[in-house]
Amino acid sequence: MRLLLLLLLTVLAAAARACPPPFNNFRFAGNDTAALIQEAMLENGLGWTEAASHFQNPIQPWPRDSDGIVRIKYCFATPDDRQNFKILIDQAWNVWKTGIKNPGHSRGHRLIFQEFNWNPAVEWKYCYKDLAGGSTPANWNHGANLPTETIVIIGEDVGVFAQSTLGYTLPALNNAAGRHKVNIHPSAGGSGFSVPLLAHELGHVWGLLHEHQRSDRDHYVHFECSNLVGYNQARQLVEQQGQHTMDEVCTSETLGWKYNFAGPPNFSKESRKSTYHGQDYVWHVAEGPFYDVASIMHYASGHGFDASRQEGNVQNHPLTMWKGRWPGFQPPGQVTQDNSEIINLNYRVSNLDVFAVKHLYPW
């Protein structure tokens, strides 16, 4: 399975380089840049980090129903999407559910993720009212009383394994139908690692960011940009154009997209920004007290790995963890087999992922 993962990584990572920038993806929000998390490459993936709880952010935690429960609801874009992804979505939610259990006082959270409860009289139970109109706000299934905030589950080859919008976009900033989405690559259905990768996407839907992009990550993991697939092609472009250095591209939250280099924005520690109605927002990011390599929101060493290189050698992977990781640990100058380890894909939510849900959706 690992070989398959690596093969997919290469294929999808190659495709990812042709993708539009994640915060300038106009398909999602008219002329506004959406709070969209686009995975650089196929996912693998204590503490947590999130961007939903600060009152000045453009995204917030999902709102409570009148009974106090937060029911995040989704619909499938088309019959094919339901056929292809219903089981996968159920399994991904089950990864979370196994950790957080049912909402309630004793569990300390309010979160449920479920398909929109269609009126039985409605025949066409999909996000969009017909196939011909495509996934446009104008084609939204308004007649079925489907709220515009409902998350669209849609199979699309957007060049990555999956991408999702982050948290709940305030209607005052963008109330468009279909503004919340989880895109899944059409090939995602059959493989075992699709489930944890989708569970990771659901973490973005709750409002969680990548654990390895926390401000304190360098005490725990090492990011080696030159090991990312596509680095050499990007370097050629950067040198040809002469506007930036590779150091700038590798640390930037956005510059990678300018050079068809999808990796760095998914590893950058820079502040995130987005624009709504011409106004720029710098996101206020909250971080839990502990860094968590076991988080479902943490990338594995396979993310962005260049499959032409020897796998398992810590010196070849974009992300590895220090054996001596600890708060305040001063990282050595160089990654070696003695001081570093490979980070495996996390198939479960960690204890601190559970705390993250309690933090965002407290009882």
Question: Which residues form the interface with Zn ion (CB under 5 A)?
Answer: 39
What does the alpha-carbon distance between residue 174 and residue 32 come to, in Å, rounded to a whole number?
8
Q: How far is the CB of 41 from Zn ion (least distance, A)?
A: 10
Q: For the chain, first and last CA: distance in Å?
A: 39
CB 278 within 8 A of CB 297: no
Q: How far is the CB of 133 from Zn ion (least distance, A)?
A: 30
Q: What share of the chain is helix, strand, coil (3-state, %, to 5)?
A: 30, 15, 50
Residue whose CB is nearest to Zn ion in the complex, by number: 39
Nearer to Zn ion, 39 or 50 (CB): 39
H or E segment at 97?
Answer: helix 79-100
Q: How far is the CB of 162 from Zn ion (least distance, A)?
A: 8
Nearer to Zn ion, 250 or 297 (CB): 297
CB 345 within 8 A of CB 296: no
Nearer to Zn ion, 140 or 206 (CB): 206
Q: How far is the CB of 201 from Zn ion (least distance, A)?
A: 7
Nearer to Zn ion, 39 or 306 (CB): 39
Nearer to Zn ion, 39 or 353 (CB): 39
CB 209 within 8 A of CB 287: no
Q: How far is the CB of 45 from Zn ion (least distance, A)?
A: 7
Q: Which distant-in-sequence residues (6+ apart) come within 8 Å of 245 by Cβ?
A: 238
Q: How far is the CB of 39 from Zn ion (least distance, A)?
A: 5
Nearer to Zn ion, 128 or 283 (CB): 283
Burial of 24 (0-12, 13-18, 19+ CB in 10 A): middle
Nearer to Zn ion, 39 or 81 (CB): 39
What does the alpha-carbon distance between residue 13 and residue 107 come to, in Å, rounded to a whole number?
39
- The pair phi, psi for residue 280, each rounded to 5°, is -85, 140
